[in-house]
């Protein structure tokens, strides 16, 4: 009997613990809208982690058309499903395109961040900017929300997902909103700059 228990104990000690999960929680910009899924920046992030021999896996819970209100409504269920160690929040663009109140957007983003933190996850917030269609006051307030949430919640911020690509040709699909396949490596690198310090890469 003792030998059986000892064998079970040894087997349990040798079992591999599940890999920690990075949850990407965004909209169409993270859902690879209009391009092959494997070409999107989230898939490229998974490849980067493998190259760096990281034990993190990536789960993409992004939904095209998602607003911060929609994200706030489903964050609890999504966290329970994936149990992430890190959450990358990329939401807000659709709020801006629809001219939704920035005050509500801030409340929603803060809720997503706080619920994620309450479950033990670290959070990286990804910022966005919008064209001045609704006037400078709205545009500036929209941009400031990401800085404010990051500061108040004490989390890292990627200031602008589209950094370094807005003025380059071939970066956007015909709708002038969604990035092309060519742009995805740039998006991934922008996110990686904020994420790299959060990811523990084992020594070789």
Element (H, E) at 158: strand 157-158
Give residue 10's pLDDT. Answer: 43
What is the mean pLDDT of the segment spanning 104-115?
Answer: 98
More confident position, 198 or 203:
198
For the domain 17-198, what is the CATH superfamily, name and number? SGNH hydrolase (3.40.50.1110)
Catalytic residue among 30, 62, 82, 178: 178
Terminal-residue alpha carbon distance, the chain: 41
Catalytic residue among 3, 17, 175, 176: 175
β-bridge mates for residue 21, sequence order: 57
What is the mean pLDDT of the segment spanning 62-67?
Answer: 98
11 band by pLDDT with thresholds 50, 70 and 90: very low
28: annotated active-site residue: yes
**Residue 27 clears pLDDT 50, i.e. is over it:** yes
Helices (H), the chain: 2-14, 41-51, 68-82, 93-97, 102-118, 136-153, 184-195
**Residue-range domain boundaries for the chain:** 17-198
82: annotated active-site residue: no
User: Taking all residues of the chain, what is their mean pLDDT, rounded to a whole number?
Assistant: 92
**Residue 87 clears pLDDT 50, i.e. is over it:** yes
């Amino acid at each position: 009997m003792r030998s059986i228990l000892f064998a079970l104990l040894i087997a349990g000690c040798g079992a591999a613990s599940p890999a920690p999960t990075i949850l990407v929680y965004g909209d169409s910009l993270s859902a690879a809208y209009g391009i092959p899924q494997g070409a999107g920046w989230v898939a490229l992030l998974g490849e980067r982690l493998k190259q760096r021999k990281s034990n993190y896996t990536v789960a993409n819970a992004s939904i095209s058309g998602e607003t911060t209100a929609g994200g706030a409504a489903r964050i609890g269920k999504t966290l329970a499903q994936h149990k992430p160690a890190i959450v990358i929040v990329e939401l807000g663009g659709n709020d801006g395109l629809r001219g939704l109140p920035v005050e509500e957007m801030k409340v929603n983003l803060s809720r997503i961040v706080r619920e994620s933190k309450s479950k033990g996850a670290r959070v990286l917030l990804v910022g966005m900017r919008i064209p001045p269609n609704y006037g400078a006051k709205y545009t500036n307030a929209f941009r400031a929300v990401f800085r404010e949430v990051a500061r108040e919640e004490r989390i890292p911020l990627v200031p602008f997902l589209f950094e370094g690509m807005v003025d380059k040709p071939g970066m956007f699909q015909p709708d002038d909103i969604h990035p092309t396949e060519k742009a995805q490596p740039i998006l991934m690198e922008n996110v990686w700059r904020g994420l790299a310090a959060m990811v523990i890469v084992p020594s070789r």
